[in-house]
Amino acid sequence: MNRTQPPEGTNHSDHYDRMAGMYDLFLEPLVRRIRTDIQSWIQSQEPQAVLDVCCGTGKQMSYFPEDFPVWGVDLSSAMLSQARRQTHGQCVRGDATRLPFPNQKFDIVLSQFALHEKDRTTLKAELVDIARVLRPGGRLAVLDFAEPKGHTLLNRFFRWGIRQIEKHAGEEHFINYQDWMSRGGLAQVLPDLGWTPETERRYYRENLAWIVFRSTP
């Protein structure tokens, strides 16, 4: 959800200050079933440690049991304030391109709706650091926008709706979204950057994809 840490000595404006309290009210009804699918898959893997990168309000983390080994990291203090109210997981403030965790700490890293808004340089840096904190054989599970495999009227309708939402997220955000989609969306961008897909599920007439990746050696 958030970009990168601002340079030292600059003032950081938290773009999520005003919307943090309302974020789940808007998003949760749309993704509740997807969150349940993700939670079920992650728990079935019996991981020793899971990281939710750009965890936002921590809503996905709240789906796990109280003793589940999940950490969340986000740059927005406003979002983290919400996360700490609704999850038992450990939530820390940090930059997704310089994660505040040691090498090979996590079995699974999770990213939801956070990669499409990054420019190419930031996206590459974030994926490099995600690979650093993953254990050998670890996996990156991503939920993000994808290019539909079909081109029906309903597919295009959902694409149009997503595009309108992205337009209102800010100019930089929308530019990065357009670039993301021009490169084929989630199913194409990450493989082009060295990540091998293992499993894939589609939602909303194939406009959303949840894909589990392994880093290619």
Q: Which domains occur in the chain, in start order?
A: 23-215 (3.40.50.150)
Answer whether 142's CB lies under 8 Å from 186's CB.
yes
pLDDT band at 88 (very low <50, low <70, confident <90, very high): confident
Please spell the DSSP secondary structure of 149-214, one letter per residue: SS--HHHHHHHHHHHHHHHTT-HHHHHHHHHHHHTTBHHHHHHHTTEEEEEEEEETTTTEEEEEEE
**Which pLDDT belongs to residue 35?**
94
**Which pLDDT belongs to residue 79?**
87
Each residue's pLDDT tens digit, 55-69: 999 999 999 999 999
For the chain, give the number of residues: 217
pLDDT at residue 2 tops 60: no
Average pLDDT over residues 126-146: 97
**Which pLDDT belongs to residue 3?**
41
What percentage of the chain exceeds 70 in pLDDT? 87
Radius of gyration (C-alpha) of the chain in whole angstroms: 16
| Torsion on CA atoms 181, 182, 184, 190, rounded to nearest 10 | -80
Q: Return the SS3 of 90.
A: strand
Average pLDDT over residues 95-123: 97
Higher pLDDT, 158 or 201: 201
AA letter at 5: Q
Q: In what order do the strands lie in the sheet with 70-74?
A: 90-93, 70-74, 50-53, 106-112, 134-145, 208-215, 195-203
Q: What are phi and psi of 53, to 5 degrees?
A: -85, 135
pLDDT at residue 115 tops 90: yes
What percentage of the chain exceeds 90 in pLDDT? 67
Answer whether 147's CB lies under 8 Å from 188's CB.
yes
pLDDT at residue 149 tops 90: no
pLDDT at residue 85 tops 60: yes
Query: To which residue do tokens 């090498």 refer?
Result: 103
Average pLDDT over residues 104-132: 97
Across the chain, what does the average pLDDT equal? 88
Higher pLDDT, 158 or 2: 158
Higher pLDDT, 178 or 82: 178
Task: Measure CA of the first residue to CA of the last residue in the chain; give whole Å.
Answer: 27
pLDDT at residue 145 tops 90: yes
**Which pLDDT belongs to residue 150?**
77
Average pLDDT over residues 37-54: 97
